[in-house]
Structure 1
Amino acid sequence: MSNKLPNDLVRRLRADKGFDTEAFVAIHDTAKKSNTIRVNPAKPADLTHLKLDKQVPWCKEGYYLSEQLISNLDLLFHAGCFDVQEASSMFLSYAIRQLGLDQSAIRALDLCAAPGGKSTLLNASLHPDSLLVANDIVKARVILLADNLMKWGNPNVVISNNDPSAFNRLPGYFDLMVVDAPCSGSGVLRKDDSTAIDEWSEANVALCSERQRRILTTSIASLKTNGYLFYSTCSDSMEENEEIVDWLIETFDMVSVPLNLNTDWQIEETTSPKYKASAFRFYPHKMEGGECFSFAVLQRSGIQDSFAMKRIKPEKYDVPLDIIPKWVHNDDKVFVFSHQDNIHIIPSQYELDLKALQNVLYLRNAGTQIGKFTGKELIPSHDLALSNYIQSNIPFLSLDLENALSFLRKEVLPVELNTTGKLGWILIRYKGMNLGWMKAMPNRINNYYPKRIRIANL
């Protein structure tokens, strides 16, 4: 038996005569972990210090690292230049390209999105004019989700904090629905997660399978006819994967969508027990640099009524539009609105979508927050500092590593550090990438790095 895997799980695996249980157990008992990042194509940066080894074969933005990375200690991570993600999960990028979902604008939903790795991948992989709704039911996790997408810098994102059932109020709205479902977690036991090890049981597998069905049942109406569902878990259990695929086909008029794979990738293609639908398994003992991951693509063939966008009326917002061009480029391509007393922008083509989503969902964030207007000036937001839409002519100050670390710790910066000779709002940069705001006064510098995300251990 394994030093790390529950005995009942090992017995289950050994019951599958075609599965190399001993190799699977052995890889879980080693200390080696996956070490991969995915770069942000909208923020090209010098990442040579990360020791990029080679590209993840199914994701052009993904890279294996030759040395272990502690992302929280890397300033370019906080600037949104890259995200840490296991290679297995990056497979969504390949599926998007295979299905042509990157060729035109679509509406996509990441239903169980926190902490946001798959959301940033979707935001980078889909057509840039697409709209992404990233949702999570847990408030604390939604805060982390919002922070991660904020760093990615794109305004075509709406972040919601809702039970999956809320999305049935948007029938036929989404072209793509991604459900990385909560699961029994047998695929993450390699991470030395003692809680996951203690909680895994066959009874918990059954409970998770029921939960997955509830999540899908109460939200599937939001997927339009011919829309795609990406269903995934980090579980090895058939009850949470292939059997769920069979249930989806039987219950919701879904059809299985196969994908063409390179056999060198060592991704195992399986079939569901009843309908022989395609599914894909990623195992750490078979492939380099990835963890356990199960993935399937389905397409909705049944007729689904569509949400009536024509009933939505635009809302007028009392926003001082004349200040926007000072802070935002491409201002003619964005819709400016207020949300929770802050000024935001979202691509103009999604003005009505924003109103529709506000009518039926609780939104944590929408588009990119620009800042708050006090009546005299705009107090720019941290979101704007990291936005890909920020004006290029805003004054900035480039800091060396030591002073940039002080800034991220939200420490007091010495006034002589301001070598720009300017007063007022100034961007802080490190290696050419924006980190946040300072406000230069005649006798001091105010550090505006958000307290909630300051880096205490740098």
Structure 2
Amino acid sequence: MTFFSALDEQPPVSVRYNPAKMTPGSNHPWEAAWEGSVPWSEKACYLNHRPAFTFDPCLHAGCYYVQEASSMFVEQALKQALRGLTPSADPYLMLDLCAAPGGKSTLALSLLPENSLLVANEVVGSRARILQENLTKWGSPNVMITRNEAVDVGRLGPVFDVMLVDAPCSGEGLFRKDESAVGEWSPEAVRQCALRQASILEDSLPALKPGGYLIYSTCTYNTEEDEAIVKRLVDVEGLEPVPLTVDEAWKVTGSLLMGADQLPVYRFLPHKTKGEGFFCCLLRKPLTEGENNQSPMGVQRETGKNTRQSKRSRQTVKSPFVITKAIKERLMQPEAYHWSVTEQGLIRAVPVNLLSVVTYLEASLNVLQVGITVGEIKGDQALPHPVLALSTGLNRAAFPVCELSLKQAVDFLRREALVLPEDCPRGWVLLTYQDQTLGWAKNLGSRANNGWPVEWRIRSANPFA
């Protein structure tokens, strides 16, 4: 098969499961379509057709993520970076700078050590909301979702152990998947993308620690946005390229440049590898004389205090509302979290070991969500929050549980009216499908109020109507 004939083929379908919520062999609908593992991603597989993912409640429960296979190669770069980091008692801090819709962020959350924090950032508002939805469904409490420009991140100083910049690009690798990418392409678009990529990297790189790692990736083929950007990172920014171990059977292509300009970079071409077009490389920020990899958070990490003042109001406020023992018992190991109330009247739980890091970052970044949103204060009540239902920290024993059929679960996800079984207790009920938690309903007896967020509802025609 040639490169151009491959562009006329249907793109392969691949999924990656969430190890915190499911394991292979869990009888999910797509497993019948299994067509082999994705060799460079430990928890991913190809499917022989594209199921109706929209109507699988397990997708909405965060049990798996539908992700293009080539882009999962970031797993190899991140594993190499984690092996190369200096061991530390402090939490590892990773940034996904251009994170929406969230595939690489969910991948990172499955690979990072348990005491780490991922900052998933997206500057475009509509895309940030999609990112927030997808990361909420993945369920990890160790993530902060932000909406900031690259220059805002750079002003933090060297705080991140790993940075992932999956840069906005001309999208040549998506031509067979997205016809609009073909119409938007032009040589000028390529030039403008390369300038934007260089600017994003220049603005954000001050936030990478000496000794830290940068993963740079695009979904395009041309060397102007790929090798030329990497060469600039090496020649101008002083980063060191890091080779990755790649199995020849994967048929990954190296640099398209020759001679002295050849660098250890990795390109996926659709006529050679089973996936879309993708480019990736790993670079290290060297330690220079007189430098160390100490974060500017310094004392804040030890004391949990931060004297820096935010341009915005602090996320948390003093509140007369008492967070009772019963509320805290909505989480497993409630003592492992710092509890607070936000300006918006949300009860928030942040892992104690991450509190000082979170405090430092909140002083400078526009934070959309961090930790677990346990409840929303309404009068003297703390209504259970959708984030809680999907969190891996949820204590299911704190609520009555009602298992739904497939039809009932899809009705719930469409925010349609629900009638729960007669033996279901009144009040707030945790709804599950195949034992996976989905969300909340307030059972009133004759009917139940649907607690699935309006903005997440399935809008497609109901196949069970």
**Is 1:24 matched with 2:3?**
yes
Give 3-state SS (helix, strand or coil) of 1:270's partner. coil
Give 3-state SS (helix, strand or coil) of 1:67's partner. coil
The equivalent position to 1:165 in structure 2, one of 147, 151, 164, is 151
Shift of 1:375: 4.7
**Is 1:449 matched with 2:452?**
yes
Match for residue 148 of structure 1?
134
Write out aligned runs for 1:333-352 (5 A).
333-339=336-342, 340-352=344-356
The equivalent position to 1:358 in structure 2, one of 322, 345, 362, is 362
**Is 1:126 matched with 2:112?**
yes
Change (3 A) 1:240 1:374: same
Give 3-state SS (helix, strand or coil) of 2:120's partner. strand
Distance 1:395 1:226 in 2: 49
Q: Is the 8 A contact 1:271 1:279 kept in 2?
A: no
The equivalent position to 2:417 in structure 1, one of 412, 421, 434, is 412
Match for residue 310 of structure 2?
none
Indicate the larger mover: 93-102 or 165-174. Answer: 93-102
Match for residue 383 of structure 2?
379
Match for residue 285 of structure 1?
271
Shift of 1:96: 2.3
Amino acid at match of 2:391: S
Shift of 1:97: 2.4
Distance 2:407 2:170 in 1: 43
Amino acid at match of 1:313: K
Give 3-state SS (helix, strand or coil) of 2:19's partner. coil
Give 3-state SS (helix, strand or coil) of 1:190's partner. coil
Q: RMSD across aligned C-alpha pairs, in angstroms?
A: 2.0
Change (3 A) 1:143 1:325: same
Match for residue 8 of structure 1?
none
Match for residue 399 of structure 1?
404
TM-score (normalizing by structure 2)? 0.88
Distance 1:275 1:338 in 2: 54
Match for residue 388 of structure 1?
392
Q: Is the 8 A contact 1:227 1:300 kept in 2?
A: yes
**Is 1:49 matched with 2:21?**
no
Distance 2:376 2:238 in 1: 47
Match for residue 213 of structure 1?
198
The equivalent position to 1:328 in structure 2, one of 314, 327, 331, is 331
How many residues are treated as equivalent by the alignment? 432
Match for residue 137 of structure 1?
123
Distance 1:37 1:128 in 2: 23
Distance 1:429 1:306 in 2: 42
Give 3-state SS (helix, strand or coil) of 1:90's partner. helix
Match for residue 240 of structure 1?
225
The equivalent position to 1:259 in structure 2, one of 233, 241, 244, is 244
5+ residue gaps, structure 2: 307-315
Shift of 1:456: 2.0
Q: Is the 8 A contact 1:407 1:447 kept in 2?
A: yes
Shift of 1:198: 1.4
Distance 1:75 1:392 in 2: 18
The equivalent position to 2:74 in structure 1, one of 57, 68, 92, is 92
5+ residue gaps, structure 1: 1-21
Shift of 1:71: 2.0
Partner deviation per Cα, 1:152-206 (whole Å, 9 max, x = no partner): 0011100000111101121110000000000011111011x33211111111111
Give 3-state SS (helix, strand or coil) of 2:452's partner. coil
Match for residue 92 of structure 2?
106
Distance 1:146 1:99 in 2: 25
Distance 1:168 1:49 in 2: 44
Distance 2:48 2:110 in 1: 24
Q: Is the 8 A contact 2:76 2:244 kept in 1?
A: no
Indicate the larger mover: 345-354 or 95-104. Answer: 95-104
Match for residue 301 of structure 1?
286
Shift of 1:125: 1.3
Give 3-state SS (helix, strand or coil) of 1:365's partner. strand
Change (3 A) 1:324 1:162: same
Partner deviation per Cα, 1:406-450 (whole Å, 9 max, x = no partner): 111111112xx2344411111111111111100112443111111
Indicate the larger mover: 48-57 or 202-211. Answer: 48-57
Change (3 A) 1:424 1:268: same
Identical-residue share of aligned pairs (%)? 36
Partner deviation per Cα, 1:322-342 (whole Å, 9 max, x = no partner): 233331111111122233321
Amino acid at match of 2:270: P
Give 3-state SS (helix, strand or coil) of 2:363's partner. helix
Shift of 1:99: 3.6
Distance 2:17 2:130 in 1: 19
Distance 1:178 1:410 in 2: 36
Distance 1:388 1:206 in 2: 43
Distance 1:374 1:255 in 2: 53
Amino acid at match of 2:7: H
